[in-house]
Amino acid sequence: MVFSSVVFLYIFLPIMLLIYFIVPKKFKNAVMILASLIFFAWGEIRYIFIMLLLAVMDFLCGKKITEHYNDKNKKIVYLLINVITNLAILFFFKYADFIIGNINNLLGIHIPLLNIPLPIGVSFNTFQSLSYIIDVYRGTVQCEKSFYNYLTYTTLFPQIIAGPIVRYETVDEELVDKKISIDNFSSGMKRFIIGLGKKVLIANNVGALWHVIETGNYTEMSTIFAWTGIVAFALQIYFDFSGYSDMAIGLAEIFGMKFDENFNYPYISKSITEFWRRWHITLGSWFRDYVYIPLGGNRKGIVKQIRNILIVWLLTGAWHGASWNFILWGLYFGIVLIIEKAFLLKLLEKLPKIVGHIYSIILILVSWVIFAFEDLQKVIDYIKAMFANSCICNSEGLYYLQNYALIILIGILASIPIWKIAKQKIDKKESKAWEIITTFGYLTIFILSTASLVTDSFNPFLYFRF
């Protein structure tokens, strides 16, 4: 994984960018398609053909829906063909073994598991395709007339592996007319470097601490050690995921395209409702627009609103993984959000902001325990270690807390908008000295990230499996 990351960042990506900027405008999409196919082949070459066949189906169904736009029956047939096929592929690769395993446990039989490797980014790719075909069906976007352009959209390698989920309407014009400029290149490189630093310098380091703690004995773990561990995981998953999103958004800007933001400092939230407006924004908006609102949203009474929220969060949990802990994780948030909508949000608004922050952080950290362990007994044991442990502190907990205190502190400070606010104020002064300092800062982050990638073997991408 380290070798692949280094080769991609320092050999493949620079060569691809050089070719991209050299070739005439009409060939830029071809370069992006080729780069995307190479990137996917690097991970799992045999799945490229499935991706290409689905792209052909999406494109043809979109055209057929447009051709028969006034014929509701034909429209819905092509919509269903596309939606069912995309979901069937997702279901087969992601959930087949989960279903087989549960049937085996329930009936006491031994149907062999398929053990099929999950295609990289299959969940993101599926949701992106579904958003296109549904929007064409609704008439909110025009179908893409060029398969060449559609293939560019559906294979966009900067984001297809771990988001953000890019809707066709966001990039349809830029598939034809990309806004390539020195300013966009500079801004995109800065964003890419920030994402790289988040991932390599923060996520990987706090992830190493979490790896030690998650493999420990939770029944003998001190309270401080348990809380240190889940804080480390919370920082790891945030900087891992938001770092990748930043890199994708930065690369898109370099290519002359604009992707939607995916994170907005979620850990400063004062409620879980606010948290989910700030965390994985494109996934939340996808479920809102394509599931929650079509089901009726909050327009058909409180009972149906509760039903709709539970359906959305059951699906959100299932989207993240084929395991009962993800289902439980989704329902956990669904229930909390229902309680907040019923009365808790109004109560929190009357209390000091710090109360809302503490409430939110505690519930978020508990949610990450559910998310982190597929074994539900481990979830119970770990939560007990956090809240019902006779041992508050021991030498092991203090040792790891002392050794990782600095990176945890850096992670906490980087997860609140201190730097963003300071930068906005200083940028207004247009100081040359400040430009030099920030340039040196970006260069330092890049050099440190490079050194870390070359020397460190611990480099997981948590969201690649989704």
Q: Which residues are catalytic?
A: 320
147-154 vs 28-44: helix crossing angle, rounded to 10: 40
353-372 vs 324-339: helix crossing angle, rounded to 10: 160
Beta carbons within 10 angstroms of residue 173's beta carbon: 12
Non-local CB neighbours of 384 within 8 Å, separated by 6+ positions? 218, 219
Contacts by residues 409-415 (CB-CB < 8 Å, ≥ 24 positions apart):
410/202, 411/202, 411/206, 411/235, 411/239, 412/235, 414/198, 414/202, 414/239, 415/235, 415/238, 415/239, 415/265, 415/267, 415/268
What CA–CA distance (Å, rounded) separates 109 from 253? 53
Which one-letter amino acid corresponds to residue 108? G
Question: Which letter does DSSP use for residue 374 in this model?
Answer: S
Question: Nearest to residue 337, comparing CAs of 310, 317, 318, 315?
Answer: 310
13-22 vs 28-44: helix crossing angle, rounded to 10: 160
- Phi and psi, residue 20, nearest 5°: -60, -45
CB 465 within 8 A of CB 321: yes
Contacts by residues 21-29 (CB-CB < 8 Å, ≥ 24 positions apart):
21/180, 25/178, 28/178, 28/255, 29/148, 29/149, 29/152, 29/175
Which one-letter amino acid corresponds to residue 395? S
